[in-house]
Structure 1
């Protein structure tokens, strides 16, 4: 399998029902979001709502559901997804094994400092996908020093094994649907197809 090493990010050609996603996420704002546990990696407010987790943590505290990403291969949707047909439809359209799924909100004025998630790239057999649900021009997401030109309703792969950072310099919160999955042949082909179509943004 050609894993396209060195690809920092790519837009995936997957249909997205943005209006439905936004309506579902707006309803989920009343759920129990938890602060991101890696507090040394950010300033301001960054919180998470887990939607899919390891089966062994399905009845555990949301911190375990949202951040226990290693040590198990058995994953399941959480009950909160039962009322989210648009999110479930998007997940069903991904022809690769899914692991953790969560909503991640970077509050206005917050910043995620430069860091790496070692081993989380398609060349290592894993992938992290981002779908902006609520975003704006004052949000910057940089991977290996290059800005990802993500717009609301677009599904993107990025190589989390590379140094990345995010800042929200606007007055509105940024919310992404974040999906971790196995980088099988289908996903690698999608990344390879999506990479060349998007020029670098400064």
Structure 2
């Protein structure tokens, strides 16, 4: 974990301003739907279908099975873009926009009718020097994303910081899959200011 030297306000979520072309992101995604997605490994944490396509992983796992690429994401310091990200210009632009250390990047798909149960990802928050960002590419009013008892009003094409150290859950009560671009970062002054300014 990175150490931070400022008093970080504990916020549950915040929108971060980011130049995004949603049609371009969706075009990238359509090309990636035929890639090898893997079921989320924490099966006790969800009901239904929840799978992942890794886009950036630890360098030591770049030729490994997608499960390692997608889930060995805790303590690595040497990260590398996978071909799927390098061949997706709109997604790559979003990642390159971030002026903070970028760690794991992956697409996460919550299938129609599925539920991510309430859980915490311990110490994955700004005040612990870490951050998880979500950018919905396909979503809608049928998604209920709650953090610390509050509904996150995220729409497609918006970048959001989520305090994953707090209890959170997601319901997909619709008939379409929800797909988010999920980016794990090291928290620095730039990211903290972005989140604080938009909270």
Is TM more than 0.5 here? yes
How many aligned residue pairs are there?
195
1:176 aligned onto 2:173: no
* Aligned residue among 6, 10, 32 for 1:6: 10
Runs of 4+ in 1 over 6 A off after TM superposition: none
Corresponding residue of 2:155: 151
Residue 39 of structure 1 deviates from its aligned partner by 0.2
Per-residue CA deviations over 1:22-62 (Å, capped at 9, x if unaligned) read: 01101100000000000000000000000000011100000
Structure 2 CA distance, aligned partners of 1:81 and 1:153? 17
* Aligned residue among 97, 114, 129 for 1:125: 129
CA RMSD in angstroms, aligned pairs only: 0.8
Residue 107 of structure 1 deviates from its aligned partner by 0.1
After TM superposition, the score normalised by the length of structure 2 is: 0.96
* Aligned residue among 53, 56, 63 for 1:59: 63
Per-residue CA deviations over 1:162-201 (Å, capped at 9, x if unaligned) read: 0000000000000000000010000000000010xxxxxx
After TM superposition, the score normalised by the length of structure 1 is: 0.95
Stretch moving more, 64-73 or 186-195: 64-73
1:139 aligned onto 2:150: no
1:112 aligned onto 2:116: yes
